[in-house]
């Protein structure tokens, strides 16, 4: 049976916070926003990534409190950034999550502890050491420099549209 666009679905989000994980909440989001922002589990760590478009961004913000680590990726000019490669290393020194973001937000359910986060985008690597508390999570923003467009094809607007230069 096909779901009509706009039909709301209820998604149960299971938060893997160690032994005895339970369903903490159910979130209702528009069926059109579910495709890119899907809860995933890797190495026992639950996460969700996405936020492209206002509907999906709103849906993700609505579940943010269910995740102990909330990462946002932007360019230094404030534009949101997607396709960021992220690795999170846990307190033991082992990698707990490696993923590529599907939008500017990456929300991760982690137990309390100290984590090192490495993010790669725009030809740059940034790292942060973050303490995730037992009661409240951590919000971290990565701001990357603007992309270098020197290697891009020439498409500069000189303000002289329709004029040709003499030969």
Q: Does 3 map to a domain?
A: no
CB of 48 within 8 A of CB of 69? no
Residue 59 scores a pLDDT above 50: yes
- 160 lies in some domain: no
Q: SS3 for 78-129, per residue? A: CCECCCCEEEEECCCCCEEEEEECCCCEEEECCCCEEEEEEEEECCEEEEEE
In a domain, 158, yes or no: no
Confirm whether pTM is higher than 0.75: no
Q: Does residue 45 lie in a domain region?
A: yes
**Is residue 17 a contact partner of residue 109, using CB atoms and an 8 Å limit?**
yes
- The rounded Cα 141 to chain-centroid distance in angstroms is 10
pLDDT > 60? residue 39: yes
Give tens-digit pLDDT for 79-132. Answer: 999 999 999 999 999 999 999 999 999 999 999 999 999 999 988 999 999 999
Range of the domain at 50: 8-144
Structural domain count of the chain: 1
Q: Indicate whether 162 belongs to any domain.
A: no
- Residue 97 maps to which CATH number? 2.60.40.10
Average pLDDT over all residues of the chain: 75
Q: What pLDDT is attached to residue 1?
A: 36
Give residue 99's pLDDT.
97
In the structure, what pLDDT confidence band is assigned to residue 24 with cuts at 50, 70 and 90? very low
Question: Is residue 16 in a domain?
Answer: yes
pLDDT of residue 162 exceeding 60, the answer is no
């Amino acid at each position: 049976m096909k779901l009509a666009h706009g039909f709301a679905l209820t998604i149960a989000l299971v938060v893997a916070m160690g032994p005895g994980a339970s369903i903490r909440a159910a979130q209702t989001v528009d069926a059109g926003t579910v495709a890119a922002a899907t809860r995933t589990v890797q190495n026992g760590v639950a996460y969700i990534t996405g936020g492209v478009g206002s509907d999906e961004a709103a849906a993700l913000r609505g579940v943010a409190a269910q995740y102990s680590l909330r990462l946002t990726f932007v360019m230094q000019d404030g534009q949101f950034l997607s396709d960021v490669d992220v690795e999170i290393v846990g307190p033991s020194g082992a990698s707990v999550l490696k993923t590529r973001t599907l939008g500017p937000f990456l929300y991760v359910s982690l137990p309390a502890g100290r984590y090192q986060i490495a993010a790669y985008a725009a030809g740059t690597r940034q790292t942060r050491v973050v303490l995730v508390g037992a009661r409240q999570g951590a919000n971290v923003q990565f701001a990357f420099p603007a992309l270098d467009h020197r290697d891009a094809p020439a498409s500069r607007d000189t303000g002289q549209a329709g004029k040709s230069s003499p030969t």
